[in-house]
Amino acid sequence: MSSLLKVEGLSKAFGRVVTADGLNFEIHAGQITSIIGPNGAGKSTLINILSGTLAADAGRVFLEGRDITRLPTHRRVRLGLCRSFQVVNVFPDLTVFENIQIPVLGIVRKAHHVFRSLRRERGVTERVMEVLGQLKLVGRAHDLASELSHGDQRLLEIGIALAVKPKLLFLDEPTAGMNPVERVETLETIRRLSATGRTTFVIVEHDMDIVFSLSDRVMVLHRGEIICDGTAEEVKNDKQTRECYLGEEVIE
Partner 1 sequence: MGRYLPYMAFGLLIVLLVCIGLFADRFVLYLTMRVMLLSIFALGYNLLLGRTGLLSFGHAAFYAAGSYGMALFYLHINPDPLLGILAGVGLAVVASLVIGFFCVRHTEIYFAMLTLAFGMMVFSLIWNLRDITGGDDGLVGIGRNPLLGFSIAKDSQYYFLVVFFFALTVWIIHRIRSSPFGLVLAGISENHQRASFAGISIKSYRLAAFVISGAFAGLAGSLGAMLESNSDPFSAHWTHSAEPVLVSLIGGLHTFSGPIVGSVLFVVLREIIERFTQNWMLWLGIILLVIIMGFRGGAMGSAEQYLARWGRKFREESAS
Give the interface with partner 1 as residue ranges (CB under 8 A): 51, 53, 72-75, 77-78, 82-83, 85, 89-94, 98, 101-103, 105-107, 110-119, 121, 124, 160-161, 163-164
Looking at the Cβ atoms of 94 and 244, the one nearer to partner 1 is 94
Whole-number minimum distance, CB 214 to partner 1, in Å? 23
Q: How far is CA 242 from CA 35, 104, 201, 221, in A?
A: 15, 43, 25, 12
- CA 60/CA 10 separation, integer angstroms: 6
Give the C-alpha separation, 164 to 81, whole Å. 9
Smallest separation (angstroms) from partner 1 to the CB of 223: 27
Least separation in angstroms between residue 150's CB and partner 1 is 17
* CB closer to partner 1 out of 121 and 238: 121
**Please, what is the angle between helix 96-107 and helix 122-135, to 10°?**
120
Measured CA to CA, the distance from residue 8 to residue 170 in angstroms comes to 18
- Report the nearest approach of partner 1 to the CB of residue 10 (Å): 20
Residue 144, SS3 per DSSP: strand
CA 167 to each of CA 12, 201, 224, 248: distance values in angstroms, whole numbers, following the listed order:
25, 9, 25, 36
DSSP-derived pairing of the beta strands 168-172 and 81-83: parallel
How near is the Cβ of 140 to partner 1 at its closest, in Å? 18
Q: Which is nearer to partner 1, 101 or 189 (CB)?
A: 101
Q: Which is nearer to partner 1, 5 or 208 (CB)?
A: 5
Query: Which residue's CB is nearer to partner 1, number 16 or number 122?
Result: 122
| Residue among 169 and 235 whose Cβ is closer to partner 1 | 169
Contact partners, residue 119, CB within 8 Å, separation at least 6: 125
CB 171, min distance to partner 1, A:
13
Instruction: Look at residue 211 and give its three-state secondary structure.
Output: helix
